[in-house]
Amino acid sequence: MAVIVKYVVERNGEEKMTFTSKAEADAYDKMLDMADELFTLLGNSEAVSDESQREELSLFLAQHREEVLYALGAKRKPTPKAAKKAESKAEPSKDSDEEAA
């Protein structure tokens, strides 16, 4: 028999998502916190009066946090050289895959 650890993100007594990693569960919970704050902020605006649209927009903005920060100028976009370096670290090279086989 296997023991499986699951991390459940719950909001207002409702199960939102289940993860096998605590870090992923924490990140998702943080994203939902941001969406809640954005929902409140958007409620102060007359631009989005429909509650379901406000909820959708706040969730979208929270899910695209990095791009929002770039757009607001709060964070700089990585340079192409730095982005390429980060990609190469994240993806194993094809040569190492072939050697392992």
pLDDT in tens, 25-57: 999 999 999 999 999 999 998 888 889 999 999
39 belongs to a structural domain: yes
96 belongs to a structural domain: no
13 belongs to a structural domain: yes
11 belongs to a structural domain: yes
Average pLDDT over residues 83-88: 68
Helix axes of 51-63 and 22-43: crossing angle, nearest 10 degrees: 140
What distance in Å separates the CA atoms of residue 17 and residue 15, rounded to the nearest whole number?
6
64 belongs to a structural domain: yes
What distance in Å separates the CA atoms of residue 12 and residue 29, rounded to the nearest whole number?
12
18 belongs to a structural domain: yes
Domain that holds residue 66: 7-79
- Cα angle 48, 72, 45 (rounded to 5 degrees) comes to 20
Q: Is 58 exposed, middle or buried (0-12, 13-18, 19+ CB in 10 A)?
A: buried
The rounded mean pLDDT for the chain is 84
3-class secondary structure, 14: strand
CA distances from residue 3 to 6, 20, 101 in whole angstroms, order as listed: 10, 12, 30
Domain count, the chain: 1
Displacement of CA 39 from its chain's centroid (Å): 16
91 belongs to a structural domain: no
Q: Does residue 96 have a pLDDT over 80?
A: no
94 belongs to a structural domain: no
